[in-house]
Amino acid sequence: MPIWTQGSGWGDQMGKRVGDFKKSMEPRIKEVRFSLAKIRKSPLSLVGIAIILFFITIAIFAPWIAPPEDPDDPYQIPHDGYSPIPKPPDDDHPFGTTGYQYDMFYGCIWGTRTAFRICILVIGAALLIGITLGSIAGYFGGIVDEVIMRVVDVFMAFPYLILAMAFSVAFGRSIDSIMYALILVTWPTYTRLMRGNILSVREEDYIDAARANGCSSGKIILKHVIPNSIYPVLIMASLDIGAVVLTAAALSFIGLGAPIGYADWGQLTSFSRDYITGITGDPFIYWHTVIIPGLFMLFFVLGWNLLGDALRDIMDPMLRRK
Domain ranges of the chain: 1-41, 47-315
Residues 6 or more apart in contact with residue 189 via CB below 8 angstroms: 130, 156, 236, 240
Sequence-separated (6 or more) residues with CB below 8 Å from residue 117: 175
The distance from CA 105 to its chain's CA centroid, rounded to whole angstroms, is: 24
Cβ–Cβ < 8 Å for 132, 226: no
Query: How many CB atoms sit inside 10 A of residue 54's CB?
Result: 14
Please, what is the angle between helix 43-60 and helix 104-140, to 10°?
120
Cβ atoms of 297 and 245 closer than 8 Å: yes
User: What's this model's pTM, rounded to 2 decimal places?
Assistant: 0.83
- Closest C-alpha among 263, 70, 170 to residue 271: 263
pLDDT reported for residue 244 = 93
Q: What is the spatial distance between Cα 217 and Cα 136, in angstroms, rounded to a whole number?
A: 10
C-alpha distances (whole Å) from 208 to each of 43, 73, 197, 216, 224 are: 42, 56, 17, 12, 11
In sequence order, the 6+-apart residues with CB closer than 8 A to the CB of 127 are: 190, 233, 234, 237
Residue 38: predicted pLDDT: 66
Give CA separation, 242 vs 33, 233, 293, in Å.
Answer: 28, 15, 15
In angstroms, rounded to a whole number, what is the distance separating the alpha carbons of residues 311 and 111? 26
The amino acid occupying position 48 is G
How many other CB atoms are found less than 10 A from the CB of residue 134? 30
The rounded average pLDDT for each run of 10 residues, N- to C-terminus, in the chain (322 residues) is 51 58 56 66 82 95 91 87 84 87 93 94 95 91 92 92 91 90 94 90 82 83 84 87 91 86 89 68 72 92 86 62 50
pLDDT of residue 104: 92
CATH topology of domain 47-315: MetI-like fold (1.10.3720)
Question: What pLDDT does 278 receive?
Answer: 55
Q: Is the separation of the CB atoms in 173 and 257 below 8 Å? A: yes
Q: Which amino acid is at 306?
A: L
